[in-house]
Every structure is written in structure tokens, then in C-alpha cells.
Structure 1
Amino acid sequence: IARFEKAMANLLAVVPTVDSVDDLLTEEDEARFVQAFREVIRIKNVLDCFTQFDFEDLPIDEQTFADYRSKYLDLYDKVRSEREKEKVSILDDIDFEVELISRDKINVSYIIALLQNMKDAKPADQARQRKSIMDILDSEAQLRSKKDLIEKFIAQHFPNIPTGDDVGDTFESYWSEEKLKALQALSAEEGLDPDGLERVIGQYLFTEKTPMRDDVIAIMSDRPKLKERSSVASRVISKIKQFVETFIDGVD
């Protein structure tokens, strides 16, 4: 507990409140926040191993911790986006260690189970349960890439599911449709052979190794100039990884 209190003191020295994260002016300040909160996460994960652990023993409540975690993930998303645009940032050199804040049980199947409970709940309870689900989507690392799609499902499809019907069946159909649309969009945007793209993704899933640049270039309908191949292949590989992270990882 003493180590956690020290780590929290360091965090609060950088960002006294959750909202103050938005007021950080420089990347150096953002880096200090990332490093400070990362240490808080590390120590909390150690405390989680003890059955007697309770937030009441800590100098931060569970909701505030979740709010800081959401800001941390916002910065992680920002850095990833800028990497794809090939912008240079000092935050590129910082390991966010997002695996530290991913909980195995919090996946898409877990969200579907919550939605099923929400569908079967009384109207008065549904608003509270919906807010809880939205909070989870904001704070869970492995759901961030899926957040917009899940929110779209809740807004456009969930209300039309009859009470008593299986939410999972409707969601599975929705997810398959969205996955196909995303695959077709990626193929069209980058001029990739659809069958070849599926083959590269399948190999990536099987080997768990980043696709080779030559394999990606080989499925392009128009091969880029030699000096452009490295950057173009890297961009496509990044999109393939994003597709897998969104539609496949953490779904079951």
C-alpha cells in the first residue's frame, strides 16, 4: 500500500485531477503523466493478486482510477494515430504497456452478456446499465478499437431486439456484416486483391507474426514505386493489424 500511495502522490503532482490531463500543454508533460500512471497500474496489478485488496484501502476510489485509465488510453490512441500518419513524437519511445490494463474476462462476449441482462431488465434499470456498459467501453484497453461499432449496435440494433430474444445472435450477424464491410473497404482503399488480403490476414492469425512487406506488396493491384514500397507496405500492415484488433482479437 505504501508503494501505491507514493506512486499516487507522483501522479497527482503531474495531474491533480482527471480533467487536468486535458490541460497538459507539451508532449513532455504527457510523457510524465504516462510514466506516472503506468507505475500506478503496475503496483495496482500486484495488489490485485491479494484477496484482501480493496479500493477503500487506497487513496483513490475505483471510479477515479477508471477515469484516469480512460485518459491514459486516450493518449495511447492519439500516439497510435500519429504513428500511422508518420508524425514524430517523443511519446513514440514510451511503452504504454496496455496489456497491464486489459482484463481477460472483459471482452465482447462479456459485453453481450451485459446487453442480454439489460434487454431483460426493467426500463428503470436500463439507463443505469447502459451507462455502466459505456464506462467499460471507455476504460478497457482491448475494447477501445471496438467501441464505436458496439455503440452503433446499441443505438441502431439493440432497441429492435424483442424481449426474450438472444442478443448474441443479432450481434453476431451485425459483427459479421461490419467485418465484411471493413475488409472490402480496406481492399478498395489500398488496391488489394480480396482473396490475397484474406490469405495474408489468415497467415498473420496463424503465425502471430507481422505480415512480411513483400507479401503485402504482392497482393497490390498496382505495385508502388521502389522508393515508396516500404512506407506503403507499412501503412497497409498497420491497417491489417487494426482490422484484426477490431474484429477478431478479444471477441470471444
Structure 2
Amino acid sequence: MTLGEQFKQLRHELGLSQPELAELAGIEQSYLSKLENDKSVPSNEIFRSLLKAFNLELSQFLKRFDLNTCRGQLSRIPDIDNWLNRQQLQQGQRQRRYLYACSGLIVLAVTLFYAGFSTLLFSEVRYQYESQGVVLPGEPKDIFRSWSRLIAESGEEHRRLHLKKKIEMAQRKDVKYQLIREHLGPHFTEQVSGGIRVYQLDKQEQVPRFINALLQILAVLLFSAGIMGFVLERKLFKH
């Protein structure tokens, strides 16, 4: 619908005749007739007078138009041209923010996928440390392996002490394990009641973690959303 057709439509909606509308807007009836028949385009002041007569804001008036087809005619009125330029500028800003957001989703998706795939944030290696028992104060830390070397005597006395120590160490043996994600070196000590426990690295194993799979799934979803955003961009921001 053209500018003149909208003037005529609005006049009919208000139930006004051409003379009545012309009087409200402070213009000649003949000039209003030219406007309604698109034989003339109103000046900025007359356009404001017509809007006041219609009791409409500029934005309300322009909602009645397909701005993609009527922009050429409407832009000849300075108030409309300024409004359209502001809207175009704001839409351009919104479009840039939208594209930045889509790009950000893709970058975030790639980062999350790499983090999940490489187990960079959440290691899937688990270390098993073993302790043979409690090391008493004054004893060497490897007492459960080296106790036999501490018996210096030889002969029958050596065999008697060796057997006695062997029984003692067997009774003291209390194997415990710790499964941890952090590598603490070949061994570490832990203070316990009566002495310390020395934990030796026994083995390490690969144990999948759900969080890494979740990161990869989330990455695929975000990547898809980012790509879909670029696909829909032209439909969402029609010029």
C-alpha cells in the first residue's frame, strides 16, 4: 500500500471526510486529495500535522507499511528517512552481535571438544598406590622390603631372629591401596596413627570419565547451533 493509500485508509478508519481531515491538519482539501492519490508527497511539517490529526506516533504509522517495497517513497519525508536510517543502524548492530554470538558458539564448541577429547581438563588416568603397612618411628621407610637385611647376626641366632622378624612383619602387614587421579611420583608418605604409611606406585590405568564425553556432546550441540545461526541469519535479518 502506498503513502497516499494509507492516508485515505486512515481517514476512512476515523470516519472523516476529506474536508474534515484537511481542516484538522491545516491544509487545503485539494492538496489532501493530491496526497491521497500519490500525486504529491507531503513536506515534513505537513506530514507531522497529518500524524497529529490521525493521533499516531511515527512508529505506529510505519508499521502499516511493507518498508522493503515502500522505502523509496517514504524516504522522501525527512522524519521517516531519519527513522529508517536509525532502524537500519540498530538492525546492523543487532546483526553484528548475532554473528559474533554465532562465532563465539563455534569457538567455544571447538574448545570444549578439544578439552573433552584430549582429557586436558579431566584426566582419565588413574594411579594406584600400595602401602604394605605402618612404618614405626625410627624404622626405614622400606622396612617391609628390607627388614631381613637389618639382621646382622649369622648362624643359628640369625635364623632364630630372622624367623621371629618374619613372623612379626607378617603380622604387621596390612596392605592398603589408594586410587587417585593425580600423579604423586613413585611414592609418597601419609601420617597415620602409630607412624607413617609409605605408598608406592603400583600401576596406572586409563578409566573413561563421563564428564569428557559430556563435554564432547555439548561441543557438538554448540557447534550445530552456531552453524544453524549463520544459516538463519539472512532470514532473521531481512533488508
TM range (shorter): under 0.3
Q: Is the helix fraction higher in 1 or 2?
A: 1
> TM-score scaled to structure 1, two decimals?
0.23
Structure having the higher strand fraction is: 2
Structure number with greater CO (CA < 8 Å, separation at least 6) is: 2
Greater radius of gyration (CA): 2
Scaled by the length of structure 2, what TM-score is found? 0.24
